[in-house]
Structure 1
Amino acid sequence: MAVPVWFISSACLGALYVAAVCSRLIAYLALCLRRPKDLCRSYGSWAIITGPTSGLGRSMALELARRGLNLVLVDLNAANLRETSDTIKSLHTVRIKTVVFDLCLVATPQGDEAMRRLREGIEGLDVGLLVNNAAVNTRGALYLHEVEIERLVRMIRVNLWALTEVTAAVLPRMLERGRGAILNVGSGSTVAVPSFPLYTVYSSTKRYVSQFSRSLYVEYKSKGIDVQYQVPFYVDTGMLSSAVKAKLRPWFVATADEYTRTAARWIGNGPLCVPGAAQKLQWCLTGFVPDCVHDWYRIRLHLQHRAILRGGQAIADGNSWDKLTS
């Protein structure tokens, strides 16, 4: 009995899909088992990190210092920068420079002055790595018309505009040296779900960073510069609610230190990265859910977030819920 053509075609497509999945799994296991890349030797002895005083940014600064990189720390709060710098120096023998820069002032006279200080601060340094970590998010879910326009402008300036300007400032020196790496910290809302209602502007800015990163990867890969978009899912930072932490920890919620240890190993390995096995599993599982189900679930969940906040004091002072983090 002849085997139907449709069956053979389906079997071939299935085999190709399984082969692709297996090849990615093998590549992931090989990366986990091999010796970590020497970032200093591969890229340069200095790393710039934006938003390094809390959350993932602080953990990444500590991890890179542990790997022997000198650091340029960029943040809006001088006291927090001093505390972070002192903590790192007490643990690791590295050089540290700090630059006070409120990224929401980018494209203003104050922002231009801060950008000038940053350029002067890195002049002559062997900057091999830029970590664009700083981002503004909201603590609460709100419809677009409920958010003050100033808040939206601030978010766009930090998440999108400042990231672009800082990257453009660092690239020329990397091009002269013919090596370097740019790591842009993203969000699971850009790769795992089709929509992120009531957090619309935040997720939209992160989608810009995703496209920005991929295009830069193609532009500069041949010039020795690795550009990567790293996507955290559930990580135990100030951005994650206590309810989610209690419900999912320890299987799906990584600590910031766990995440950054894995994230540092992935630097320079492809344009898109979801560090950690549990994080990758979350990404994989979301792929089996239809878009319409994602949309239905997200709007219901985020409306619950909105109701909780509107019933309390978190937004009683005029939406005073935004913060700098990532």
Structure 2
Amino acid sequence: MASCADAQPQPAWALALAALGLLVSARAAARLALWLYAAFLRPARPLRRRYGAWAVVTGATDGIGRALAFRLAAAGLGVVLVGRNPDKLAAVSAELEAKRPGTEVRTFVVDFADDDLATRVGALGEFLRGLDVGVLVNNVGASYPYARYFHEVDEALAQRLIRLNVEAVTRVTHAVLPGMLERGRGAIMNMGSGASAIMPSDPLYTVYVATKAYVDQFSRCLYVEYKGKGIDVQCQVPIQVATKLASIRKPTLLAPSPEAYARAAVRRIGYEPRCTPYWAHAVVGLLISLVPEPVADRMFLNRSLGIRARGRAKEAKKKAQ
């Protein structure tokens, strides 16, 4: 029987490889633990105490924006609902006041697709003057009616996407930020998209994805600029939520209801500069990152071509009626 003294020492390269493996495993375990904590255990920020008494939500009459308004009210904030349809604004305001008695609610009408956007957002800034706006949610946005090649995107659609997804978030932030600076506190949450931040590409949605990439970088730069001034800026990048914008009617595990998404989203406000609040979206993002980009590109192209074919067939049917 061999003694311990007869054991051969391990070569240096094997020890280095083992140490590297241990380091990689420890890093992966730490990242998993941090993600689990942020996704499920970390407490939400005390929004009213930390940032201010009011939240402003754009695109607040439907989908994610509406759900976020209710969650922010549940967190104790007064809510300014911003949207283009005065009747819908009034209906959401009445429902919010009925479900959350004592919540202060105000409404402001802006059609972010209009040519006079600068004037209307200036009026919004005046409307908000004197309010202790602690949270701004830039949620308004638009996508394609269905997937299409870039050469099939007409001028009206391209202009609408740029105005709603780029100009609106820029102008509204510029109008609200000075008040936050005066008070030395605030949180800005901009709605990005996993299509630009998680997926390697989303072909046949080119202009939409490019506008959301703007939101991502706009948010990141503001985060760095204003972090030292008491203002937290964040871009949230969901994948799919069951809304009209995504053309998904029935919620699923991977496409949650707006209410389910909003619960996760409000808990993350004020933390990371970019996050994917809904846990299943984060898992999907991890799986996508493991797929070689050429393979992922082909997968998403095939998916988009299927959406395009169905959209064109539906459009042709409508024209034939």
Do they superpose with TM above 0.5?
A: yes
Matching of residues 69-218 of structure 1 within 5 Å: 69-92=77-100, 93-105=102-114, 108=115, 110-218=116-224
Q: Structure 1 12/181 Cα, relative in aligned 2: closer, same or farther at 3 Å?
A: farther
Amino acid at match of 2:111: D
Q: Distance in 2 between matches of 1:218 and 1:27?
A: 22
Alpha-carbon deviation of 1:11? Answer: 4.1
Alpha-carbon deviation of 1:123? Answer: 0.4
Structure 1 unaligned regions, length at least 5: 318-326
- Give the match for residue 295 of structure 1: 297
Check whether the contact 1:179–1:223 (CA below 8 A) recurs between aligned residues.
yes
Amino acid at match of 1:79: D
Alpha-carbon deviation of 1:241? Answer: 4.4
More displaced 10-residue stretch of structure 1: 196-205 or 113-122: 113-122
User: Identity across aligned pairs (percent)?
Assistant: 43
What is the aligned counterpart of 1:63 among 68, 71, 79?
A: 71
The answer to whether the aligner puts 1:256 opposite 2:258 as a matched pair is yes
Q: Distance in 1 between matches of 2:285 and 2:262?
A: 18
Alpha-carbon deviation of 1:27? Answer: 2.8
Check whether the contact 1:103–1:162 (CA below 8 A) recurs between aligned residues.
yes
More displaced 10-residue stretch of structure 1: 39-48 or 267-276: 267-276
Q: Distance in 1 between matches of 2:21 and 2:90?
A: 55
Q: Distance in 2 between matches of 1:7 and 1:193?
A: 37
Q: Structure 1 63/285 Cα, relative in aligned 2: closer, same or farther at 3 Å?
A: same
What is the aligned counterpart of 1:274 among 249, 273, 276?
A: 276
Alpha-carbon deviation of 1:302? Answer: 0.7
- 1:68 is paired with a residue of what secondary structure? coil
What is the aligned counterpart of 2:61 among 53, 68, 86?
A: 53
More displaced 10-residue stretch of structure 1: 25-34 or 69-78: 25-34
The answer to whether the aligner puts 1:19 opposite 2:21 as a matched pair is no
| Structure 1 outlier segments of 4+, above 6 Å | none
RMSD of equivalent CA atoms = 2.0
Q: Structure 1 138/26 Cα, relative in aligned 2: closer, same or farther at 3 Å?
A: same
Q: Distance in 1 between matches of 2:247 and 2:168?
A: 27
Check whether the contact 1:51–1:134 (CA below 8 A) recurs between aligned residues.
yes
Check whether the contact 2:54–2:132 (CA below 8 A) recurs between aligned residues.
yes
Larger radius of gyration: 2
Matching of residues 217-256 of structure 1 within 5 Å: 217-242=223-248, 250-256=252-258
TM-score computed with the length of structure 2 as normaliser: 0.90
Q: Distance in 2 between matches of 1:132 and 1:95?
A: 20
Alpha-carbon deviation of 1:174? Answer: 0.9
The answer to whether the aligner puts 1:312 opposite 2:314 as a matched pair is yes
Q: Structure 1 6/254 Cα, relative in aligned 2: closer, same or farther at 3 Å?
A: farther
Alpha-carbon deviation of 1:139? Answer: 2.2
Q: Distance in 2 between matches of 1:11 and 1:154?
A: 55
Alpha-carbon deviation of 1:36? Answer: 2.9
Check whether the contact 1:46–1:71 (CA below 8 A) recurs between aligned residues.
yes
- 2:113 is paired with a residue of what secondary structure? helix
Q: Distance in 2 between matches of 1:206 and 1:300?
A: 22
Q: Structure 1 8/288 Cα, relative in aligned 2: closer, same or farther at 3 Å?
A: farther
Check whether the contact 2:196–2:212 (CA below 8 A) recurs between aligned residues.
yes
Q: Distance in 2 between matches of 1:178 and 1:18?
A: 41
- Give the match for residue 3 of structure 2: none
What is the aligned counterpart of 1:39 among 47, 52, 70?
A: 47
Amino acid at match of 1:196: D
Amino acid at match of 1:208: Y
